[in-house]
Chain A
Amino acid sequence: MTSTTTVTAQRRQRPLFRTRFWAHWSAPAIMLIPAVVILVALSLFPMFYSLWLSFNEWNLGDRTATWRFVGLKNFITIFTTDPFFWPSVRVSVTFTGVTVAVQTLLGLGIALLFSEEFRGRGLLRTLIVLPLMISPVVAGLIWRFMYNTDLGMVNYLLYLLGIDKVDWLGRQVSAMPAVMLADIWQWTPFVALILMAAIQALPDEPFEAALIDGANRWQTFRYLTLPMIRPALMVAILIRTMDSFKIFDLIYVLTLGGPGVSTQVLGLYTYKWGFKFFQMGYASALSYLMIFMMVVFANIIVFFMRRRVD
């Protein structure tokens, strides 16, 4: 007898519970689900699709060609016989390492210079930020103009010093540094801007105490400023490394990876396999390796930054 009543009670309660659950969660669900559905469709599906594609061979240029399962062949070819894969990795890693290092140091210097009050600081700070807001395509165009052999500003400055014209983007030795300089021009303001904000948000008291204790500029910077802006520095370096490693547009406009393969970063190399040679399987395999490397880099940076703080 008693057991039946409990069962009925439970039965009665259940719909009530459901309504409450629904009353609480319907609003957030309705607000969240459309975005999640779109993102799954636009990202998760393509990622699995291209993962599967990377184990296949498919020439999109040949209309009659169909998918052919080849297992790990694409990956094996990339690692063993592909003559351009490792050079591209080297170019990408060098490019990322040099640009991020220079941008970080230069950005930090600029942020420190601008941390003191002076007339016109606000306006000058806005001006410095401009390069990072313009399209990388426009930045590429600007620097193609700057590097132009016959009428570029760089050669004009050298001409004023009595030095002969140089074809900056057309020579193996100078193309890479030239591309790096353009990237440094565009993204140093990014690091500077983040660090300026971090420095501005610092409390005054520790600095006043340091001044009273007779700490010099270097000591104040090394033992006060630097540790306190470390989180911001980490965010800046992390974002810059990710973006620098996947660079495409700036180099596409400046050199298209040339001369030879001297500026051919991984993104550009993958693009060529996909949309010049139409080998979709091979390009998918390359793109997966690129994602894998980015994940590894991100973890290395986070690991080192964390260890230093502890």
Chain B
Amino acid sequence: MGLGWQRIAWLAAKRLLIAIIIVFFVAPIILIFLTSIKSRVDALAFPPVWIFSPTFMNFEEIFELYDFGLYFRNTLVAATASTIVAMALGVPAAYSLARYKFRGHSNLAFWILSIRITPPIAAMIPVFILFRNLRLLDSIPGLVLIYCTFNLPFVVWMMRGFFEDLPIDLEESAMVDGCSRFGAFARVALILAAPGLASTAILTFLFTWNEFIFALILTGTNARTMPVAVQLFMRETGILWGHMTAAAVIMMLPTVVLTFFIQRYLVRGLTFGAIK
């Protein structure tokens, strides 16, 4: 009997803890979403109002009052283009590192990883000067190029892991059947690694979508991306929380949706393939 009560109390305590944890991590996001669909008056109410008539005014206004459409487009174009470039260059390189064990291949792989670990602010100073001289400041191509410094190492490390997981026999038998080395790569390995390819591309896209430091320093009014723009609104307008939160919701939406798709590979992606 006493043991039964103890077990129930233990179970209840665990449930309560789980509830508190969920509220702590999720409530701030929900709060931002709720504020974004409040009218200006409701958003400024203290204590906060919980029952209100939702409105999409804020979403309309950020596109009308600021250049948010441009920033959205810039972010989308830069993230998509840099994902494509990083995948196009990184996937073959990863395959090469996974399948051909030339002397120093692991040194090369670790050098590539070290680029990703370097604090971006350290690379920023020379890159800024270089871009100024090449007239690449405040341009999308410049942004795409510089995003390669962190996307390319990521793609190489992720895809190297996925290729190493594939049994080599299939590629070998394809080559016996007359496929070239490139054929074995393109027609066999790429197809088999398709889930890995998709999740690597999605994660690359998300990292770029969220990127701030490079965009802050290398862009002005033309190529400005959403993270930089949002942070500027905040300083320029003081606290227009309705607009701020609407912008935040737009920025969060793709990350939330895409996270559901890549759950299986999330741990792998976040640890550079160190944990599978």
Contact in complex: B95, A275 (CB < 8 Å): no
Binds A, one of B1-9, B60-68, B193-201, B240-248: B240-248
Q: What is the interface of chain A, defined by CB distance below 8 A to chain B?
A: 25, 27-32, 34-36, 38-39, 42-43, 45-47, 49-50, 53, 60, 110, 113-114, 118, 124, 126-138, 140-146, 148, 150-151, 153, 156, 159, 185, 188-190, 193-194, 197-198, 232, 235-236, 239, 242, 245-246, 248-249, 252-253, 267, 270-271, 274-275, 280, 283-284, 287-288, 290-291, 294
Query: A135 touching B29 by the CB < 8 A rule?
Result: no
Residues of B within 8 A of A50 (CB): 122-123, 125-126
- Residues of A with C-beta under 8 A to B180: 27
Number of residue pairs spanning A and B whose beta carbons lie under 8 angstroms apart: 247
- Residues on the A chain within 8 Å of B153, using CB: 39
Interface of chain A, main secondary structure: helix
A137 touches B123 (CB 8 A): no
In the complex, are the beta carbons of B31 and A153 less than 8 A apart? yes
Write the B73-114 contact mask toward A (1 if CB under 8 angstroms, else 0): 000000000000000011011011101101000001000100
- Chain B residues 161-197 with CB under 8 Å of chain A are 180-182, 185
Indicate with 1 or 0, residue by residue over B181-223, a CB within 8 angstroms of chain A CB atoms.
1100100000000000000000000100111110011000000
6 more contacts with CB within 8 A, not counting A28-B100, A46-B127, are: A128-B26, A131-B25, A135-B252, A141-B32, A193-B270, A294-B117
Give the nearest-CB partner of A50 in chain B.
B126
Residues in chain B within 8 A of chain A (CB atoms)? 14, 17-18, 21-22, 24-29, 31-32, 35, 43-48, 89-90, 92-93, 95-97, 99-100, 102, 108, 112, 115, 117-130, 145-146, 148-149, 152-153, 156, 180-182, 185, 206, 209-213, 216-217, 227, 230-231, 234, 239, 241, 244-245, 248, 251-252, 255-256, 259-260, 263, 266-267, 270-271, 274-275
Contact of B241 with A287 in the complex, beta carbons under 8 Å: no
Contacts of B148 in A (CB 8 A): 38-39, 42
Cα separation A249 to B255 with both chains bound (whole Å): 18
Q: Say which residue of A133, A252, A275 sits within 8 Å of B256 (CB atoms).
A: A133
B93, B121, B146, B266 — which one has the most chain A CB atoms within 10 A of its CB? B121
Listed from nearest, the 10 A-B pairs whose CB atoms lie closest are A31-B92, A135-B210, A46-B126, A35-B93, A27-B181, A246-B119, A287-B122, A28-B100, A28-B96, A137-B227
**Smallest CB separation, B173 vs chain A (Å):** 17
Of A38, A53, A239, the residue contacting B125 (CB under 8 A) is A53
